[in-house]
Structure 1
Amino acid sequence: MITRVSIVTGASRGIGMFTAKALAGVFGHHVIVTGRQVAKLEALANTTDGAMTVAPADLTSEEDRNELYRIAQQCCNSEGHHFFGIVHNAGLLVAKPFDELDEQDWTKMWEVNVLGPAMLTKTFTKMLGDSLGDGYGKKHLVAISSMGGFQGSKKFPSLSAYSATKAAIASLAECWAEELGSVGVHSNALCLGAVQTDMLGEAFPGLTVDIQPEQMGHWIANFFSEQYTFFNGKVLPVAGHDPG
């Protein structure tokens, strides 16, 4: 029996947390959850059905990325366990008008939203290449982007830097499909619309939308685990509602 080992970044709250819960509890993955809030990650693992390993990390740190690789190797040493992929969910939003954004704002969002996922994927390229993945050689990378980074979508004030970084990670997902496709890696970006998360509330105070993080997390887990096979190198809008 094959057990797929997968990583969910930014798993301490919101969409990442519910994606990890669904992957472990519904789809049978051994999920490595990572983020900076250790207590929340441990609480998640303790309240989730299925296998889950807590691996606190700052993904902008090379040392932490290498430690995450070591933990994944340990998980894959169990019989029948194969590395399947990564849900790049971790993100940072600094909502400021364009003329108030300083270099530090741009740098922080670039490091978390683009550079971190890029370097984490680079760290795992050998494992992705060597792994049987789903048992048939297929692996999957998913970049959680935003409708703000989707070409032609409606744009919003104070989200210039965030939207630019989300466009960049979506483009990276397209490139990974080309660069890693020879070893069986599928790579896609999901451009999410409005979901009722803390991040949405901070960017659009008082806004309420119908889609809850539990719903979106389950949808992402299903796509990542089961429904991806006809998609590779795609940037997909996943939006029931855009704030406006």
Structure 2
Amino acid sequence: MANIIITGTSRGIGFELAKLFAKEGHKVLALSRNTETLDSLKIVNIKTIPFDITKKDDLEKVGAYLDEHWETVDVLINNAGRLLNKPFLEIEPQEFEAVYKVNVFGVANLTKLVVPKMSEKGHVVTISSMGGVQGSMKFPGLSAYSSSKGAVITLTELWAEEFKETGPSFNVLALGAVQTEMLEEAFPGYQAPITAFEMANYIKDFALKGHQMFNGKLLQVSNSTP
């Protein structure tokens, strides 16, 4: 059974992922600012830690937990994300920066913390968006969000190159529309063809097996626009 770290587990895809991995017997470290939704389920092999990916103290807290309880990490899923839907000329500098602190700097800092604890067979999966894929359809109001999701695509390619001799593997999934609270915030009233549970099932399988076939790759996981 694997040791799995997942960020953004309070709702949506991350919440479903934590439950799915735990159901299969894996150990899950669920990191989210709000842990109440998972805590209420009282699932034995899910450990929750209240976690803000932008805070140094919270990163150190996770590092201390891993040092004490886990010899190795098998899978890291960078799922946490921050959305801003606002016309570009109306965005305050601190708002743009806040998106990048979660979606780019936070992802980089947590990955830097966890990678030394992973073996060559480990797998880092970062969740991006079709909006971050060059040449894909773009939508007004999402300049901060989509550009940040483009940044982690490039980061994944760079990490795979830097660690290709020692591992772990790095891949990024650019998701299309999934019926989550975040989608409703970005596209009010839009009904996605894929549920959070269905997408979580796909990501779970990819996280456990995808590194056998892919490294440094962007996979577009979408059957719709947006």
Q: Any stretches of 5+ residues in structure 1 without a counterpart?
A: 132-136
Task: Say which of 46, 50, 53 aligns to 1:59.
Answer: 53
Deviation at 1:158, TM superposition (A): 0.7
1:124 and 2:114 correspond: yes
Matched with 2:7 is 9
**Residue 236 of structure 1 is aligned with which of 214, 219, 222?**
219
Distance in 1 (alpha carbons) for counterparts of 2:166 and 2:59: 21
Deviates more, 1:84-93 or 1:51-60: 51-60
- CA deviations on 1:39-59 (whole Å, 9 max, x unpaired) are 123125x2x4x6211111111
Within 5 A, what are the aligned runs for 1:116-155?
A: 116-128=106-118, 131=119, 137-155=120-138
Show the 5 A alignment for 1:163-182: 163-182=146-165
Q: Which runs of structure 2 are paired with 1:62-81 in the superposition (5 Å)?
A: 62-77=56-71
Change (3 A) 1:140 1:188: same
Equivalent residues of 1:5, 1:75 under 8 A apart = no
Question: TM-score when scaled to structure 1?
Answer: 0.88
CA RMSD, Structure 1 to Structure 2 (Å): 1.4
Where does 1:219-230 land on structure 2 (aligned, <5 Å)? 219-230=202-213
Task: State the AA in 1 paired with 2:33.
Answer: R
Deviation, structure 1 residue 23? 1.8
Q: Does 1:20 align with 2:18?
A: yes
SS at match of 2:165: helix
Is residue 39 of structure 2 the alignment partner of residue 39 of structure 1?
no
Return the offset for 1:177: 0.9
**Structure 2 CA distance for aligned equivalents of residues 92 and 170 of structure 1:** 16
User: Whole-Å Cα distance in 2 between the matches of residues 166 and 142 of structure 1?
Assistant: 13
Deviation at 1:4, TM superposition (A): 1.6
Q: Distance in 2 between matches of 1:17 and 1:180?
A: 29
Number of residues paired by the alignment? 226
Structure 2 unaligned residues grouped into runs of 5+: none
Instruction: Work out the CA distance in 2 between the residues paired with 1:6 and 1:180.
Output: 20
Q: Write the distance in 2 (CA, Å) between the matches of 1:227 and 1:171.
A: 19
Q: Distance in 1 between matches of 2:159 and 2:21?
A: 22
The percentage of counterpart residues that share the same residue type is: 42
